Amino acid sequence: MDIQINKKINILRAIVMGANDGIISIAGVVFGVYGASMSTWTIFLAGLTATIAGTFSMATGEYVSVNAQLDSERSAKDAQKMALTNNFSQEAQFLIQHYRTDGISAENAQLLAQQSMQKDALKETLNARYGINEDDFISPTDAAIASMVAFPIGAFLPMISMTFVPVAYRVITTIVFVIGALILTGYFSAVYGNTPKKTMILRNVMMGLLTMFMTYLIGLLMAL
C-alpha cells in the first residue's frame, strides 16, 4: 500500500510540474507574440505550436530524466551488492552508526541493525548510504505520459484567454487566470515537496509574471 501511495504521489508531482510549465511557457509565448502583433490568429497559432512542441519536449525530458535517475540508482545498487558480498560485517557496523546518528541508543541501534540486515540488507544499506528508496521511483513511461497530459492542460488557459477574450479585456483576463492557476500549482508543489506554501506560491506567481513581462517587452522591441 505504501509503495503504491508513493508512486501515485510522484505521478501527481509530475502532473503538477508539467501543468505549471505549460502555464508559464505558453503565457510567455502568447504575451511575447501579443507584444509584437495583436493578430488573434497569429497569437493562437504561436500558442498552439508552442504547446505541441512543449508537450513532446516535457514528455521526452521527463522520460530521459527518470531513466537517468534509474541508471544512477542501478549503479549504486550494484556497488552496494558488492560491498555486502565482500564486507557484510562492515556494512552492518555502518548501519549501526547510521542509526546512532539518528539518536538511537547503542543497544537499540545494534538490535535494529541486526534485524534490518536479516530482513533486507540491500534495501536498508542502500537507503542509509545513498538515500535511495526504490519504492519512491516511478517508471519513465508513466512520468512521460503524466507530463504529456499535464503540459497542454496548463497551456490551454493562457492560450485560450489571450485569443478568445475580447481585445479590451484580453491582457487583464489572461493575467488573472494565469495567477490563479499558478497559485494552485504552487500550492500543490509545496504540498508534494513539503516546502512552505506561501513561499512556493509567491515564487511561482512572481516567476510567471516575470516571464510574461519579459516576453511581452521583447515582443514590443521586435515590433519596432
Q: Give residue-wise pLDDT tens across range 4-19.
A: 555 666 677 778 888 8
Of residues 8 and 210, which shows the higher confidence score?
Answer: 210
The answer on pLDDT for 38 being more than 50 is yes
Q: How far are the Cα atoms of 94, 103, 113 from residue 91, in angstroms, in the given order?
A: 5, 19, 10
Q: pTM here? A: 0.73
Closest CA to 180 of 148, 158, 211: 158
Widest pairwise Cα distance in the chain? 76
DSSP state, residue 133: -
The answer on pLDDT for 71 being more than 70 is yes
Predicted confidence at residue 3, as pLDDT, reads 47
Which pLDDT band, with edges at 50, 70 and 90, does 208 fall under?
confident
Q: Give residue-wise pLDDT tens across range 188-197.
A: 888 877 778 8
Residue matched to cell numbers 497530459: 149
d(C-alpha 215, C-alpha 148), whole Å? 24
Q: What mean pLDDT value characterizes the chain?
A: 84
Output the DSSP codes for 166-202. Answer: -HHHHHHHHHHHHHHHHHHHHHHHHHHHT--HHHHHH
Instruction: Tell me if residue 87 falls in helix, strand or coil.
Output: coil
The answer on pLDDT for 187 being more than 80 is yes
- CB burial readout 168-200, b (16+ within 10 A) else e: eebbebbbebbbebbbebbbbbbebeeeeeeeb
Q: Give residue-wise pLDDT tens across range 86-145.
A: 888 888 888 888 888 888 888 888 888 888 888 888 888 888 888 777 666 677 888 888
Which pLDDT band, with edges at 50, 70 and 90, does 151 fall under?
very high
